Chain A
């Protein structure tokens, strides 16, 4: 992904639970820049507007320049904070749910107990942290069922008289968004649309399939899973 330009914009989240309090806190912090560079160039900035191939009716970043200021309170362009994955990246990459990754990484860990006798086999530094995090966030007892339910919720809705399956993917929900939904273990569709704002434009179409999906995957959660 190419980093473009010297400046960047600090988008505001499209969701604010307490707008009045938030404005006052932002005004009191006016002029404060939040950045941390470890000896890097002062021109380096966070990449907030990555190139993406996913079109969205609520976002229009293509025609805008990248010279906006860091200060959120002064930014007039309220770019929605939405999940954007580079389409070039997705050609060779598949987004996994945390529970799927936990199964794969645990399988490798189990094999490593046999292979650890061979000192020439090296594991990446991030392996153990990756394993630990995936296990902590693996919240379902049956990962294959969760994947199927999120991709084909209508199979599980006996009240829907349709000949063809209604899939979330068919309505434009991408893999990354499905992964975020699964990882978050949402209790309601309201929570789904709050955590994945890019789906709000399709709320009328997605409401029913999502309700079905959440109802079916709820019993698949592990007992000690928690959610906000």
Chain B
């Protein structure tokens, strides 16, 4: 789900961006926040960084002696996206394999739905492989599926998440394909 978070960060401003009047300084601080927010991509607790919404406050700067840079403590609000164990979401199938499918949900691309967690479904190979069920719509590429999150994993090196999904439960499963 989407989260609105309030984050305290320390932003370092180079000496050439420091301005007596202050307006260009605030601009430099804001641009630095945006740049760092974009470069960090994701946080292990908050999820994927989506956008900064407001700059709440800028504290007093502290000069770093050897470099002349100034460190400002700032507080800003931002939108992030994360998924949690037990959450129910809708994802789109983007890869179909013999033992399961991969779903994407917003910025999260690696959500694995194993065939063992798709009760009643069997794999049908072919040019467009899919999982079919006698009583429910099929699960194939680009289909929308409502699933429950079984667990998540944060990969520090890649700064991204992986997750496991399940269709075991009432009111879970693929949405009907739109009629053409």
25 contacts between A and B (CB under 8 A): A11-B150, A13-B169, A16-B168, A22-B119, A44-B153, A46-B151, A47-B154, A72-B116, A81-B166, A85-B84, A89-B46, A92-B5, A93-B3, A94-B3, A94-B4, A96-B2, A104-B4, A124-B38, A126-B107, A130-B48, A130-B107, A190-B170, A191-B170, A228-B171, A228-B175
| B37 at interface by CB-CB < 8 Å | yes
B62-70, B85-93, B124-132 - the one binding chain A? B85-93
A216 within 8 A of B: no
In B1-30, the 8 Å CB interface with A consists of: 1-7
B-to-A contact residues, CB < 8 Å: 1-7, 31, 34-35, 37-39, 41-42, 44-46, 48-51, 53, 79-81, 84-90, 100, 105-107, 112, 114, 116, 119-120, 146, 148, 150-155, 157-158, 162-164, 166, 168-176
Q: Which of B44, B80, B84 has the most CB of A within 10 A?
A: B84
Q: Give the CA-CA distance A85 to B47 in the complex, in Å.
A: 13
CB distance from B2 to the nearest CB of A (A): 4
Tell me whether A98 and B2 are in contact (CB under 8 A): yes
Interface flags, A185-212, vs B, CB<8A=1, else 0:
0100011001111100000000000000
Query: With A16-B168, A22-B168, A36-B112 in contact, is A126–B88 under 8 Å at CB?
Result: no
Measured CB to CB, the nearest residue on chain B to A86 is B45
A144 within 8 A of B: no
Pick the residue among A25, A126, A194, A198 that contacts B48 (CB under 8 A).
A126
Q: Are A93 and B119 in contact (CB under 8 A)?
A: no
> Whole-angstrom distance between the alpha carbons of A92 and B107 in the complex?
22
Beyond A13-B166, A46-B151, A227-B175, 13 extra complex contacts between A and B, CB < 8 Å: A1-B45, A15-B169, A36-B162, A48-B85, A98-B2, A123-B34, A126-B41, A126-B42, A126-B107, A130-B79, A130-B81, A133-B105, A134-B106
Interfacial chain A residues near B46, Cβ < 8 Å:
89, 93
Is the C-beta of A84 less than 8 angstroms from some C-beta in chain B? yes
Q: How far is the CB of A67 from chain B (nearest CB, A)?
A: 16
The answer to whether A228 and B172 touch across the interface, beta carbons within 8 angstroms, is yes
- A32 interfacial contact with B, CB 8 Å: yes
Is A166 on the interface with B (CB-CB < 8 A)?
no
Of A145-153, A154-162, A175-183, the stretch lying at the interface with chain B is A175-183
Q: Check B151–A47 contact: CB distance below 8 A.
A: yes
CB of A120 within 8 A of CB of B31, answer yes
With known contacts A17-B169, A36-B112, A84-B85, A127–B162 Cβ distance under 8 A: no
Chain A-chain B contacts (Cβ-Cβ < 8 Å), number:
203
Tell me the bound Cα distance from A190 to B169 in angstroms: 12
**Minimum CB–CB distance for B73 against chain A, Å:** 15
Q: Is the interface of B mostly helix, strand, loop or mixed?
A: strand
Write out the residue numbers on chain A whose beta carbons fall within 8 Å of the beta carbon of B100.
34
Give the A interface residue count (CB, 8 A): 77
Q: Could you tell me if A124 and B51 are in contact, using CB atoms closer than 8 angstroms?
A: yes
Shortest C-beta distance, A195 to chain B (Å), equals: 5
Q: Is the CB of B53 within 8 A of A104?
A: yes
A10 vs B4: C-alpha distance in the bound complex, in angstroms? 30
Q: How far is A32 from B49 in the complex, measured between Cα atoms in Å?
A: 34
Residues of A within 8 A of B152 (CB): 46-47
Q: In whole angstroms, what is the CA distance A100 to B50 when docked?
A: 14
How distant is the Cα of A104 from the Cα of B119 in the complex, in angstroms?
38
Chain B residues near A215: list those with CB within 8 A: none
Find A121's partner among B1, B34, B175 (CB 8 Å cutoff). Answer: B34
